[in-house]
Structure 1
């Protein structure tokens, strides 16, 4: 998931420091739970998990140690999860990349569905379709489609990298509207936003936490929410579905364990993690980060993984996206 504000990262570090001060009786109740985040420190994924770290420790009755292992779109960190013993002492929090990677990478060191045990989907990060208002003076998605359609191949769209969820989300819009536009990949969200504001690129899909300050400043304009429902902080912004385009996409965060995790361990981890993420302090943190809590059962998480992996595979095939 895209990076978000520095103060949330600092908040996550504060939670980590608080965890170290937990009373001795908590650590005595069980061995530490290793939580792998296959993303960089300060990323949206990392900040979300660290916001819930202390609450998870309380709910599970054991220390929770968060370890960031970024690289290759989450593959490096997830590979460590896959190799871990299925004893309930190691889990990971993965994003959409987990089910996108099998479609965009020619070789995968593990099976994204068979080599893990789904525990829960925890939260969603809403995305919005944004334009540079000086380059594309559209007030909604219909106007944007008309402008692009009038000049095929004239406009371009940005993403945070080839094969990323923000790239595929924009490809969904282009495909659903039957448009022709050039893809310009960047190395991360920061550079993408800078060039969107500067007018080097025309439109793109971004997570609400990353783009909200620029929407308020008027340097970027949101023309549609891309999820199934409107964004709570942008209640007047209609979804692409409401504007006649069959696109539903957003970011999500899920807890997984290694393959072979016993049913009793899955239930114990699921119940503790969901209790933590629905606690008042984590609810508050998620609201501040503009993430939406949607805890699921392990069965619903497994179904989502399979459904999303098939959906992205088809989209990647149509868009011709491949990575080494």
Structure 2
């Protein structure tokens, strides 16, 4: 997944702020904006949006109320987003599973492309392939792949659940490497990381913020970042792609969306406010601490990104033979 760390979108902050100031009638609204998150409190997307909330509210000139509606892999909250009136009073923030779900669930209660209005793919949190330092002797992706191939099915990998993005990210690595390992799904990232550190499972793909303290302690060994670029938080860790698996490109992205038929003037207003918020010093500082890279895509680029991601994950799901009821 290519989300570069380019500067152009963020440099535009001053111009966006000027444009918002020039349109006070459009930017002011006494009614609160409801932002639905189809994830639980404490998740990565939740932390990102709560950190951005005050600046986003200020840029809009409107109160912002964040509401968590987790369940069914994001489907519960997303249903609430798409059922909302396209009046600019309800938006939502979706992530990778929005593009994954159509391929792993036999029946979906909505069309993940037609029933939303993309506003911006706001950015991403990088992932890293890690191994238990005591159970896996490999210190590079090349050595890791050779080890897996020398002992087929001898090693296991953890995920935050069957069909989750961390499952598919690890499956992508294995598919690209032409290797196999036993999948051990957990109910969430916390139990997954606990057992990775404890050695109950051998390796997995984890968001950098979740892995960082255990990498620092020496319990987990980082083998490669799974995006196209290295990350500042792990400057000495090369990407998986540059180590011989160029098809591995995945990170935890998030996107601001509205219900279908959201008027273009409102899409523009929300996009401009998001970019303005992303440029504030307090949001930049918070994102740096959370190891999240903000690089807001335009609404048009975001719509294309959604289509491309859904097609890409459909191929990965098929190869990994993942299904859910």
**TM-score, structure 1 as length reference:** 0.90
The alignment yields a C-alpha RMSD, in angstroms, of 1.1
> Counterparts in 2 of 1:149-228, with a 5 A limit?
149-228=149-228
- 5+ long unaligned stretches in structure 1: 1-26
Per the TM alignment, residue 28 of structure 1 is displaced from its structure 2 partner at its CA by 7.5
Aligned partner of 1:107 in structure 2 is: 107
Aligned partner of 1:77 in structure 2 is: 77
- Contact 2:28/2:60, CA 8 A, preserved across alignment: no
Separation of aligned partners in 1, 2:233 and 2:274: 26
Q: Per the alignment, in what secondary structure is the counterpart of residue 134 of structure 2?
A: coil
Separation of aligned partners in 1, 2:174 and 2:115: 33
Aligned length: 298
Per the TM alignment, residue 29 of structure 1 is displaced from its structure 2 partner at its CA by 3.8
Separation of aligned partners in 2, 1:75 and 1:277: 27
Per the TM alignment, residue 40 of structure 1 is displaced from its structure 2 partner at its CA by 0.3
Aligned partner of 1:7 in structure 2 is: none
Aligned partner of 1:249 in structure 2 is: 250
Separation of aligned partners in 2, 1:273 and 1:84: 20
- Residue by residue, what CA displacement relative to the aligned partner does 1:208-246 show, whole Å, maximum 9, x if unpaired? 011100000000010000001001111111101100102
Aligned partner of 1:17 in structure 2 is: none
Aligned partner of 2:291 in structure 1 is: 290
Structure number with the bigger relative contact order (C-alpha 8 A, sep ≥ 6) is: 2
- 5+ long unaligned stretches in structure 2: 1-26
Q: Per the alignment, in what secondary structure is the counterpart of residue 130 of structure 1?
A: strand
Per the TM alignment, residue 30 of structure 1 is displaced from its structure 2 partner at its CA by 2.7
- Residue by residue, what CA displacement relative to the aligned partner does 1:143-179 show, whole Å, maximum 9, x if unpaired? 1111111001111111000000000000000000000
> Counterparts in 2 of 1:248-287, with a 5 A limit?
248-287=249-288
Stretches of 4+ aligned residues off by more than 3 angstroms: none
Separation of aligned partners in 2, 1:225 and 1:126: 7
Q: Per the alignment, in what secondary structure is the counterpart of residue 197 of structure 2?
A: helix
Aligned partner of 1:19 in structure 2 is: none
Aligned partner of 1:123 in structure 2 is: 123
Separation of aligned partners in 2, 1:223 and 1:320: 25
- Residue by residue, what CA displacement relative to the aligned partner does 1:170-222 show, whole Å, maximum 9, x if unpaired? 00000000001111100011111111111111110000011100000000010
- The 3 A distance-change label for structure 1 pair 248 and 202 is same
Aligned partner of 1:30 in structure 2 is: 30
Separation of aligned partners in 1, 2:152 and 2:248: 21
- Residue by residue, what CA displacement relative to the aligned partner does 1:112-134 show, whole Å, maximum 9, x if unpaired? 00000000011210000000111
Separation of aligned partners in 1, 2:147 and 2:135: 10
Aligned partner of 1:303 in structure 2 is: 304
Separation of aligned partners in 1, 2:268 and 2:43: 28
Separation of aligned partners in 1, 2:252 and 2:29: 34
Aligned partner of 2:97 in structure 1 is: 97
**TM-score, structure 2 as length reference:** 0.90
Aligned partner of 1:68 in structure 2 is: 68
Separation of aligned partners in 2, 1:221 and 1:231: 16
Q: Per the alignment, in what secondary structure is the counterpart of residue 229 of structure 2?
A: coil
- Contact 2:131/2:223, CA 8 A, preserved across alignment: yes
Q: Per the alignment, in what secondary structure is the counterpart of residue 248 of structure 2?
A: coil
Separation of aligned partners in 1, 2:259 and 2:241: 36
Aligned partner of 2:318 in structure 1 is: 317
Separation of aligned partners in 2, 1:207 and 1:128: 6
- The 3 A distance-change label for structure 1 pair 141 and 259 is same
